[in-house]
Chain A
Amino acid sequence: MNKTLYKEYYKDFTYLTKKANSVSKYTLVICEKADAAKRIANALGEKVTTFNILNSPVHRVKRGSEEYIICSAVGHLYNLGTTREKRDVFPIFDLTWYPLNVLEKRKNYISNKIKAILTLSNNAGKFVNACDYDVEGSVIGHNILRYGCKAESSKVFRAKFSTLTKEEVSNAFDHLKVGVDFSLVRAGVTRHIIDYIWGINLSRVLLSALQHSTNNVRAISTGRVQGPTLKFIVDREIEIRSFVTKPYWTVKAFVNSSNGKFYAEYLKDKIDTQSEALLIKEENEGKEGVVDQLRKMTVQIVPPTPFNIGDLQKDAFRLFGFSPSLTLSIAERLYLNALISYPRTNSQKLPASINYFKIIKELGRQTEYQKEAAILMKTKLVPKEGEKYDPAHPSIYPTGEIPPIEIDGRQKKLYDLIVRRFFSVFGDNAFKERMQLSIKVGNKYFWKVSGGRNLYLGWLVFYEKYSEREERALPPLEVGDKVLIENVIVNEKFNKRPPRYNYGSLLEKMEEENLGTKSTRAEIIETLYKRGYIMGDSITPTNLGFQIIQILSRYSNKIISTELTRDLERKLEDIENGNDIFNEVLEDTFYFTLQAINDLMLNIEDVGQDLEQALRETFYEKSILGKCPQCKDGNLIIIRNKNNGKRFIGCTNYKNGCRASSPLPQSGVIQNTGKTCSTCGWPIIIVKGKRRPWKLCTNIKCNRKK
């Protein structure tokens, strides 16, 4: 410890020692993050003093006669680990909670956090768990209080709030819940245990199988939700790769009328045979038609439901291209700035207790929402709610606080989306008129022209910017008007293959299948990327991903069964709702894990060989940079010289005489861009090293470089 730090620590420590000797004891408040701690401190009293203990900021504030010391964690400070030291042992069922710095060396800073909290707890008379009010927040706070502070449960309280506004935090501290929130803690702990047991045992079996077959070993894993999620992606890829399209034809006509020219579509959208399409062209082109019918229909479009995290992630991906994890982290920043309510919620409900009118009025103080707020403040505020309910928090809504100038562009975008969605749930239904005009040629052929117009915008006034509805006006024609079918255009088309999942659609699928939770889904997708099982924005499984699913479905199909995972999620929800089935769920998990280990161990040689092959193929797949522009047959791949270990690019067609090759930068990670140089046609790569990443053409003789 350097001198200044020591002084600082000593000063703070002196204060705490003095406190320990004094009669009055303070209340120690544990928060999940530093920003939340600061906000809570400011909400509890006017005069906040901040000091540091072992580099951790701590806030001191007086509220009435009571003194509060508010400190923060950095997410989980404790995690599950096994008591067995050897890394190749399984099955593992003996677990305990360890400080994170014991499990992960790079998290050394956790040790100081824990020491700081321990020091503070010495003289605390009361403890408040003020971590986020959900399963994870409850576990984080509970573990700190249990292992860090060793607090007696009679001295423990729980604060429940959904926004970090002064009013709500203050209200939560006026109505603290006594004791530990056992249902949430139990549900969280069960989830951690199951995931750990499942993940560590099955991953170790796979690793052991790989070691059985090769010395070239790398991290390989599967998990309770990870497996079934990867299976969705692989199943979709199988569908795509074995897809046979079907031909069909569409026919449209260029129509001339006294009121202008326009396009009409043939009444039947898809024509199955080429001959039928050509016959329509032959018998309609140059013929006169008559407007036969004009059908009008009024449709009602109901407002959307308030955002829960899943809906917000989907819309943010659709509108701004934000990945779900990015959306979640931006939403959390907005929450910590007290601009929105707690984002990790499943709820589509907006309780009246949040005071709609007050929020809308506050939002109206911002120029961009003045008009919308003024409209809503004149109406009776009844939100359109969805069916999903979350006992811990309402749906995501803006608090009404004015955003500080320093919030960045992405935060602004997400904030605007949340505010406009909030407004729109109070809007009226929108009304549109859909129209279809029918043109008859002879007695056999019918053409249609569709269009529409807005009758009443309703909620769309607030959300038009983000809605996808565009209307086309109809040509001004009446029944009986004559028109000329000037030209008939026949188009040969093919059925589209199923689309690959993207971030948004995969999240939707996981939600639909009840896989994972609102807080873990985005993280699971990230893990699949990190493990090298999937790649690209349009999510494609790698060879390794394919092979993992093939192996698991061949040797232990249950591991990737959606039904099993879904059933477990339901049970975890039951525990969260107070149902005492904790032991039963754990027993099932132990039994199932043993069964799965047994299935895989019986085929350990095959599993190992399949994995080894998959790794080799994935390595090869990654080394391909693109087609060779010289022989136009082989692929340009990254090769390492066996003598000096230097890497270069060469053609796979070397044995057939192609001598395309070029040196590559020797340091840094090479990333393929998938693009080729416009001058020489060689692949363009990005090299990421210690310096700024740089883009370059791989051809050393490229004319552009001369």
Chain B
Amino acid sequence: MKKNNKICAICKRKVEKHDNFCNYHFLALLNIEKNFQTWKDAYENLNWKEYLEKLIKNEENGIWVQEVAKYLITEKMEGSNV
């Protein structure tokens, strides 16, 4: 198995499938991206930052989703560019 010494920007676990995130936070990121369109349609004209802010405030969202959303806001990262 190839050794990878990079660690997750959020939880310090080893990264495997993504450059910045461990598998768990990467999964959360994928879910965030996948659901953006649904939220955009639901609220009309919702932008990426507003979407992330809504995700952080809503307690139904998983903890990894909230952590990734916070990270994306702080790092000013767009979904597909992360």
List residues of A whose CB falls within 8 A of some B CB. 238, 240-248, 272-275, 494-497, 603, 606
Please list the residues of chain B having a beta carbon within 8 angstroms of any beta carbon in chain A.
Answer: 1, 24, 27-28, 31-32, 34-35, 38-39, 41-44, 55, 58, 60-65
Q: Roughly how many angstroms separate A437 CA and B45 CA in the complex, as a whole number?
A: 38
Contact A244 B43 (CB under 8 A): no
Partner of A273, one of B35, B42, B62: B42
Bound-state CA distance A603–B58 (Å) is: 41
Query: B65 touching A244 by the CB < 8 A rule?
Result: yes
The total of interchain contacts (Cβ-Cβ below 8 angstroms) comes to 60
Distance, CA A248 to CA B27, complexed state (A): 23
Given A246-B35, A247-B42, A241:B58 Cβ within 8 A: no
B25 (CB) vs chain A CBs: closest residue: A242
Residues of A within 8 A of B41 (CB): 272-273
Q: How far is the CB of A473 from chain B (nearest CB, A)?
A: 34
Instruction: Check if A243 sits within 8 Å of B31, measured CB to CB.
Output: yes
Chain B residue nearest to A609 (CB atoms) is B14
Measured in the bound complex, the distance between the Cα atoms of B39 and A248 in whole Å is 10
Judge whether B58 and A245 touch: CB under 8 Å. Answer: yes
Chain B, residue nearest A603 (CB): B1
When C-beta atoms are compared, the residue in chain A nearest to B54 turns out to be A247
Which 10 pairs from chain A and chain B are nearest by CB? A245-B60, A241-B62, A243-B62, A242-B28, A244-B35, A241-B64, A244-B31, A242-B27, A494-B60, A247-B42
CB pair A243–B61 under 8 Å, yes or no, is yes
CA distance A603 to B3 in the complex (A): 11
Would you give 8 A-B contacts (Cβ < 8 Å), ordered by A? A240-B62, A242-B27, A242-B31, A242-B62, A243-B60, A245-B61, A273-B41, A603-B1
Q: Are A246 and B61 in contact (CB under 8 A)?
A: no
Which B residues are in CB contact (< 8 Å) with A241? 24, 28, 62-65
The minimal Cβ–Cβ distance linking A626 to chain B, given in whole angstroms, is: 17
Whether the pair A242, B60 counts as a contact (CB closer than 8 A) is: no
Whether A244 contacts B61 in the complex (CB less than 8 A), given A238-B24, A238-B27, comes out as yes
Across the interface, B38 reaches (CB within 8 A) one of A243, A246, A275, A497, namely A246
Judging by beta carbons under 8 Å apart, are A242 and B35 in contact? no
A275 to B39 Cα, complex, angstroms: 13
The CB with the most chain A CB atoms within 10 A, among B38, B58, B60, B61, is that of B60
Give the complex CA separation of A274 and B41 in angstroms: 9
Chain B residues, CB < 8 A from A606: 1
A245 to B59, CA, bound (A): 9
- Which residue on chain A has the smallest CB distance to residue B42? A247
* Nearest CB of B to A550, in Å: 9
Contact A494-B58, Cβ < 8 Å, known A241-B65, A272-B42, A274-B44: yes
The residue among B27, B31, B62 with the most chain A CB atoms within 10 A of its own CB is B62
Which residue of B is nearest A602, CB measured? Answer: B1
A244–B31 alpha-carbon span in the complex (Å): 6
Question: In the bound complex, do residue A497 and residue B28 qualify as a contact, i.e. CB atoms below 8 Å apart?
Answer: no
Contacts of A243 in B (CB 8 A): 31, 60-62, 65
User: Smallest Cβ distance from B69 to chain A, in angstroms?
Assistant: 9
Interface pair B62/A246, CB less than 8 Å apart: no
